[in-house]
């Protein structure tokens, strides 16, 4: 029989006294293990400072630095579309062909005129040469020789005019074949064969690969610390990091409509992003050493936050409750502003079984079966 049970038997008529005795000594956390109450097992991690990010998440837009909008240089009917939307092309590949029969006829007509002017020039050269021979022989006058030279220069000028016209019209003829100015991916092709297009009609777009950048508009009230070189992390729908980059441009002006500052950052080629896609962008302002604790290790009572740490008391390990002053959540952790220090052992599991000052069996999380190892801090 235990001493507590003996007291209850010795004074059977004083029930209240027995209850008070149990509350005073027999049921305390300090002696619970001595009366058959098991000491709870808890997992602990040792707090250590690590770089913690002060960051803000924005919505960014993926843009192409070499996005080309293709419009025709001539008017006419579309006779051929040589590509499909999403197709990858090389520089010089044919995209769209516009009816060029009238232009070909014009070039052919000018080439006929060129032949006539060439014949005129050949005749004028012969006449000028003949007049020079006759003048040397005294068989003609200088005036007739000068007239022949003038006719030669006129024929040469007329031939040059026709040649320039042919060159211009051939350039115009080439505009009926719309080709890719650079390699890339073809966008939407809104025109169809038979459509009449003008110089303001959009035929398609061309996005060159390997030339993406991220546009992030930062509200002017948060833009005081903006500068090139700040880290930017791209997040997927679950919040996991899929890529990182750094700002290389900060606009010196504020957008009057949105009251925001435009920033830009280059993107890698292998992120699987598309032009115009919206992404979650985490702008990292600073990364300074600090402490963080898992959200699951923190409890809240009457608007205040608490956590348990282990302490050594009379050779035993006991749990101690600490009030905390917390900062924002970083990943799955709270940033600790006050209440904990580096080197303390934070209880991260088994919190529902313990109270302030109660003994615990503490095991490192790395030693706990099936528990993931790793330091406390924000997830990257």
* Tens place of pLDDT per residue across the chain (380 aa): 444 433 333 333 333 333 333 333 444 444 444 455 788 999 999 999 888 778 889 999 998 877 889 999 999 999 999 999 989 899 999 999 999 999 999 999 999 999 999 999 999 999 999 999 998 888 888 899 899 999 999 999 999 999 999 999 999 999 999 999 988 889 899 999 999 999 999 999 988 766 789 999 999 999 988 999 999 999 988 888 899 999 999 999 999 999 999 999 998 866 778 778 899 999 998 888 888 899 999 999 888 999 999 999 988 999 999 999 998 777 788 889 899 999 999 999 988 889 899 999 989 875 433 333 333 333 33
Domain that holds residue 115: 100-175
CATH number at residue 147: 1.10.287
Same domain, 200 and 251: no
Is 142 inside a domain boundary? yes
Considering the domain architecture, whether residues 196 and 86 belong to the same structural domain is answered as yes
CATH of the domain at 251: 2.40.30.170
Whether 76 and 139 share a structural domain: no
Domain membership flag for residue 370: no
Q: Same domain, yes or no, for 21 and 74?
A: no
Q: How many domains in the chain? A: 4
Has residue 337 been placed in a domain? no
Among 128, 155, 175, give the residue marking a domain's end.
175
Asked if residue 321 is part of any domain, the answer here is no
Domain boundary among 187, 206, 225: 206
d(CA 94, CA 177): 7
Residues 116, 150 within the same domain: yes
- Model pTM score: 0.52
């Amino acid at each position: 029989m235990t001493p507590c049970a003996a007291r209850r038997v010795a004074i059977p008529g004083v029930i209240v006294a027995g209850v008070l005795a149990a509350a005073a000594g027999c049921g305390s956390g300090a002696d619970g293990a001595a009366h058959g109450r098991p000491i709870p097992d808890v997992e602990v991690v040792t707090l250590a400072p690590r770089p913690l990010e002060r960051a803000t998440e924005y919505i960014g837009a993926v843009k192409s630095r070499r996005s080309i909008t293709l419009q025709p240089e001539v008017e006419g009917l579309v006779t051929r579309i040589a590509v499909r939307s999403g197709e990858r092309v090389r520089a010089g590949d044919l995209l769209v062909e516009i009816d060029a029969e009238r232009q070909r006829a014009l070039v052919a007509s000018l080439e006929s005129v060129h032949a006539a002017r060439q014949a005129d020039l050949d005749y004028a050269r012969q006449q000028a040469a003949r007049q020079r021979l006759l003048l040397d022989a005294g068989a003609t006058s200088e005036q007739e020789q000068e007239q022949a030279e003038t006719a030669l220069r006129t024929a040469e000028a007329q031939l040059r005019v026709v040649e320039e016209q042919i060159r211009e019209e051939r350039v115009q003829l080439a505009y009926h074949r719309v080709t890719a100015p650079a390699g890339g991916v073809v966008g939407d092709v809104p025109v169809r064969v038979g459509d009449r297009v003008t110089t303001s009609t959009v035929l398609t777009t061309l996005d060159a690969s390997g030339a993406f950048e991220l546009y992030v508009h930062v509200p002017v009230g948060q833009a005081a610390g903006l500068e090139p070189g700040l880290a930017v992390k791209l997040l997927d729908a679950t919040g996991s990091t899929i890529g990182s980059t750094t700002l290389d441009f900060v606009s010196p002006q504020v957008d009057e409509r949105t009251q925001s500052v435009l920033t830009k950052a280059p993107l890698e080629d292998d992120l699987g992003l598309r032009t115009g896609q919206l992404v979650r962008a985490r702008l990292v302002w600073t990364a300074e050493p600090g402490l963080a604790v898992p959200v699951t290790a923190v409890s809240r009572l009457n608007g205040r936050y608490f956590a348990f740490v282990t302490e050594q008391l009379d050779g035993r390990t006991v749990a101690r409750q600490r009030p905390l002053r917390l900062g924002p959540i970083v990943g799955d952790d709270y940033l600790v502003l006050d209440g904990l220090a580096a080197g303390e052992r934070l209880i991260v599991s088994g919190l529902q079984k313990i109270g302030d000052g109660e003994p615990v069996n503490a095991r490192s999380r790395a030693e706990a079966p099936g528990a993931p190892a790793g330091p406390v801090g924000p997830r990257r």
